[in-house]
Amino acid sequence: MSNILVTGAAGYIGSHFVRRFLNAKSAGQVIAVDNLSVGHRESLPDTERIHFFENDIGDLEFARSLFRKHDISAVVHFAASAYVGESQEQPFKYFDNNVIGAINLFKAMDEAGVKKIVFSSSCATYGNPNYCPIDEDHPQKPVSVYGNTKYIAEKAIQALATTGWSYVSLRYFNASGCDDSGEIGESHDPETHLIPLALQTALKKREVLSIFGDDYETEDGTCVRDYVHVNDIADAHLLAFDKLESGAKTEINLGSSVGASVKQVIDLCKEVSGRDIPVKVCPRRAGDAVALFADHKRATEVIGWTPKYDLRSIIETAWNWESNRKY
Ligand code: UFG
């Protein structure tokens, strides 16, 4: 078996994928690239099967050199900037990393004859949905710079597919939870995601958790999201990777298909942690859609994926990590 290139390998989702990949496949090296701008070197296991490079995959000459030196057969491309709020403040950081960087990677791949990719896309490419659950045929009208950059990269890959590439673009909903081992987990700086913030508040690392709006048209007035465990997401990449051989060309939603409100998440975080979580209701956060949850039928039909973790087990693994973090 030849080698696989994993970009953003030391990031939250990348590091979970690398572990699952090493366990699932007995052969093949992981060429792991991460510029460590947000990733954690210690999230990758110490094994001879990983060749780690602290570099920017968007650097065309570096990417070319990787393909020259290593026998790479396919790419799993996680590396990206992924804060919606930041993307509005620093749009060109997002164009540089998520569009120009991605296109440089694609160029180096194409020159080397490597035409297989699993790409990290996002439900942010849909924008404010016309209906939920969202299927893959739902119109894509991203409302943030981040969502637009993922959309543009998806389109570039679709165009390359007309020239012989195979690909699976995975549109993540709310990635959450941590590996059951407690050895790796979610560690963002700054942290903006609901579950880690709620659990950090339970641990008194934060005084109070903000609820961004409780006057939405939902059952309890708070926004509804679709939380999906990071290991389920990692497993979907493995399944998608296996489909590249047979010439897959598709976009797939990765969500649990179950919507949970902000208040429901907080209540479960209280239950799982057995602690109080003080909250304050704040104004709505700009850019938040009322409800976003997936229809994941295509994931089941095309790659045989169904999520194994429910919201409670997502929070349990996150709590396990958060109360004993390694990084
Ligand atoms: N929320 C709070 N308080 C907080 C943090 C979040 O009430 O302190 C709410 C948000 O308003 C939202 C929900 O909790 O309703 C989830 O927020 P997150 O920030 O955890 O996640 P998002 O749904 O905003 O973001 C996710 C992914 C992004 C992706 C985006 C697309 O993390 O990568 O969906 O909409 F781009």
pLDDT for 165-224, tens place per residue?
999 999 999 999 999 999 999 999 999 999 999 999 999 999 999 999 999 999 999 999
Q: Which residue type does 206 have? A: R
Q: Which residue type does 291 have? A: A
- If asked whether residues 252 and 264 sit together in one domain, one would say no
Q: Report the alpha-carbon angle 99-17-224, nearest 5.
A: 70
What is the residue range of 285's domain?
A: 194-224+258-293+311-323
Q: Within a domain: residue 270?
A: yes
CATH code, 213:
3.90.25.10
Q: Within a domain: residue 76?
A: yes
Taking 90 as the threshold, does the pLDDT of residue 284 lie above it? yes
Residue carrying structure tokens 């953003």: 8
- If asked whether residues 13 and 135 sit together in one domain, one would say yes
Atom of ligand 1 lying closest to residue 212 CA: 7
For ligand 1, atom 25, name the residue with the nearest CA.
174
pLDDT for 133-181, tens place per residue?
999 999 999 999 999 999 999 999 999 999 999 999 999 999 999 999 9
- If asked whether residues 62 and 135 sit together in one domain, one would say yes
Q: How far is ligand 1, taken at its centre, from the CA of residue 17, in Å? A: 22
Taking the C-alpha atoms of residue 190 and residue 187, their distance in angstroms, rounded to an integer, is 9
Q: How far is ligand 1, taken at its centre, from the CA of residue 195, in Å? A: 9
- Asked whether the beta carbons of 201 and 210 are under 8 A apart, the reply is no
Taking the C-alpha atoms of residue 191 and residue 66, their distance in angstroms, rounded to an integer, is 32
Atom of ligand 1 lying closest to residue 285 CA: 11
Q: Is the pTM of this model over 0.95?
A: yes
Q: How far is ligand 1, taken at its centre, from the CA of residue 168, in Å? A: 24
- If asked whether residues 167 and 73 sit together in one domain, one would say yes
- If asked whether residues 141 and 209 sit together in one domain, one would say no
- If asked whether residues 106 and 230 sit together in one domain, one would say yes
- If asked whether residues 111 and 246 sit together in one domain, one would say yes
Q: Within a domain: residue 318?
A: yes
pLDDT of residue 1: 62
Cα Rg for the chain, rounded, in angstroms? Answer: 19
Split at pLDDT 50, 70, 90, the class of 296 is very high
Helix ranges (H only) for the chain are 12-24, 60-69, 84-89, 91-94, 101-111, 145-161, 194-202, 230-244, 262-273, 297-303, 311-322
Note if 227 is an active site residue.
no
Q: How far is ligand 1, taken at its centre, from the CA of residue 189, in Å? A: 15
- If asked whether residues 69 and 201 sit together in one domain, one would say no
Average confidence score pLDDT of the chain: 97
Split at pLDDT 50, 70, 90, the class of 287 is confident
Taking 90 as the threshold, does the pLDDT of residue 299 lie above it? yes
Single out the catalytic residue among 12, 146, 216, 227. Answer: 146
Lining residues, ligand 1, CB within 6 Å:
82, 84, 122-124, 146, 174, 192-194, 197, 209-212, 223, 225, 262, 285, 288, 292
DSSP state of 134: B
Q: Within a domain: residue 18?
A: yes
Split at pLDDT 50, 70, 90, the class of 286 is confident
Taking the C-alpha atoms of residue 217 and residue 109, their distance in angstroms, rounded to an integer, is 46
pLDDT for 80-97, tens place per residue?
999 999 999 999 999 999
Taking the C-alpha atoms of residue 298 and residue 287, their distance in angstroms, rounded to an integer, is 27
CATH code, 163:
3.40.50.720
pLDDT of residue 2: 81
Taking the C-alpha atoms of residue 242 and residue 49, their distance in angstroms, rounded to an integer, is 19
Q: Within a domain: residue 8?
A: yes
Q: Within a domain: residue 183?
A: no
- If asked whether residues 146 and 268 sit together in one domain, one would say no
Q: How many domains does the chain have?
A: 2
Burial of 290 per CB tally in 10 Å (0-12, 13-18, 19+): middle
pLDDT for 222-274, tens place per residue?
999 999 999 999 999 999 999 999 999 999 999 999 999 999 999 999 999 99
Q: Could you count the other beta carbons within 10 Å of the beta carbon of residue 212?
A: 16
